[in-house]
Chains A and B, each alone.
Chain A
């Protein structure tokens, strides 16, 4: 797996320099921990820490890996340091989910068997520290591109939901009109798609596959995601058109049956998203970013 090299700008291409940079980045992260982590109980950071502390056990509650205290402590440190270094947004529920794919991918490099049931106490302190620091930097890099999703009033999300609506109105008028007819608003279901980058709609393995593409795509998380959301919505057009009231539509849209999805479905989804992207890339008036 090459994820650590992918987030653009995290590591230089030259092998020797890459190793040094990695080393330096890890030290830098643990420098932050040393400098700031004790402040979590001070008054001005108390609310942030409290919220993170409440949310961590509720992150991936069904996966045993994330119920281990060692793992929960790692997540708490990553999120707290990120939050206080980004006061414009601070910690927002949903960001906790975004650490998960990075952590799992970096952990998988050391795990032969089923990662979701792995006991991290089997790993050395050094390895755990590397996984923690790398997860932190990759998550930071990801969030740099979508920070306006999490600042006051979440303008990035509002904008993207609006863009999704516009896109869908052009690519599938029937679905769009169906929503209008039953007074379904895009924000009512797509807020979460943007806020959590579809993580709540897909099994973890699918999110990892999806993000793999996002990382190699320029503006993957901030822009290409929109086309993926549109493709994802249209994928369910038959089910959507079969529902004939507001309640049925909302229940469907909030619980889309992806539980058995794997690489194949994500592959098809991505192919459709690329098709949409190219269709609209040359027609800026059809769809403004």
Chain B
């Protein structure tokens, strides 16, 4: 019945959530391309990312509006000390590897370890993303291998191609759904721990009603 009254006050109580999402992974696995595909629905050769770049995307879902702040990080190790500053306070992380380069999956596993040091499991939604499925002929990591690793670690998992636009929207949508689900879990049973983390920007990540 609520849905049947567009434009009324009920619209007003549909909450808006702002979520910080980081893209992590080795150099040249397609982090920037995934962000670009998701936000602009296009593909282009991108320059190596320096530090981090920032994208936004708004999702209007039935139950809420989600604003993603996407931080696309540089893959080179050198930048890790800097990227650390960016993923502080993240609500979700996409760990990206290249299915045609086995080493990049190992790197993604190391990134996961870093995240596990930084966050409690219920503080962050993590998705493992095997990108570049358009390079099927050069595949070095089987779907099962990625899937299996994600399952044992409790991560969302999807294989994508930023180039051929395969499942890029889907993985962000899966992350959105998971974030919303956790949000709803929180409101129905407020956790005693609350969101007492020290990140200054945390406040912006709470419900911001219009």
Residues of A within 8 A of B (CB): 51, 54-55, 57-59, 61, 90, 92-94, 96, 150, 152-154, 157, 183, 187-188, 191-192, 195-196, 200, 246-247, 250-251, 254
Contact = CB atoms under 8 A, between A and B. Distances in A.
Contacts of B69: 246-247
Pick the 10 closest A-B CB pairs, nearest first. A191-B51, A153-B81, A61-B45, A250-B54, A93-B48, A247-B56, A192-B50, A92-B78, A93-B76, A54-B28
A183 B201 contact: yes
Contact of B74 (A57, A93, A188): A93
A179 B82 CA distance: 20
A90 B79 CA distance: 13
A150 B78 contact: yes
Most buried by A among B27, B51, B74: B51
Nearest to A249: B54
A235 to B, nearest CB: 20
Contacts of B210: none
A187 B71 CA distance: 13
A154 B46 contact: no
A251 B47 contact: no
A251 B78 CA distance: 25
Given A58-B28, A93-B78, A93-B79, 6 more contacts: A61-B47, A93-B50, A191-B50, A191-B82, A196-B50, A251-B54
A195 B76 contact: no
Contacts of A200: 47, 50
Given A54-B27, A54-B28, A187-B85, A195 B50 contact: yes
B51 A195 contact: yes
Interface string B38-56: 0000000111111111101
A248 to B, nearest CB: 9
Contacts of B201: 183
How many residues of B sit at the interface, in one of the four size bands? 20 to 34
B200 interface: yes
Nearest to B32: A58
Interface of B: 27-28, 45-54, 56, 67, 69, 74, 76, 78-79, 81-82, 85-86, 200-201, 204
Contact of B82 (A154, A183, A246, A251): A154
Contacts of A51: 27, 76
A188 B52 contact: yes
Nearest to A55: B48
Contacts of B81: 152-154
Contacts of B49: 93
Contacts of A250: 54, 56
Contacts of B86: 188
Contact of B51 (A152, A192, A246, A251): A192
Contacts of A92: 76, 78-79
28 contacts: A51-B27, A54-B27, A57-B45, A58-B28, A58-B45, A58-B46, A58-B47, A61-B45, A92-B76, A92-B78, A92-B79, A93-B49, A93-B50, A94-B50, A96-B48, A153-B81, A154-B79, A154-B81, A154-B82, A183-B200, A183-B201, A183-B204, A187-B82, A187-B85, A188-B52, A246-B69, A247-B56, A251-B54
Most buried by A among B48, B69, B82: B48
Nearest to B55: A251
Contacts of B45: 57-58, 61
Contacts of A251: 54, 56
Contacts of A192: 50-51
Nearest to A92: B78
Contacts of B53: 254
A55 B52 CA distance: 16
Contacts of B74: 93
B35 to A, nearest CB: 12
B78 A154 contact: yes
Nearest to A191: B51
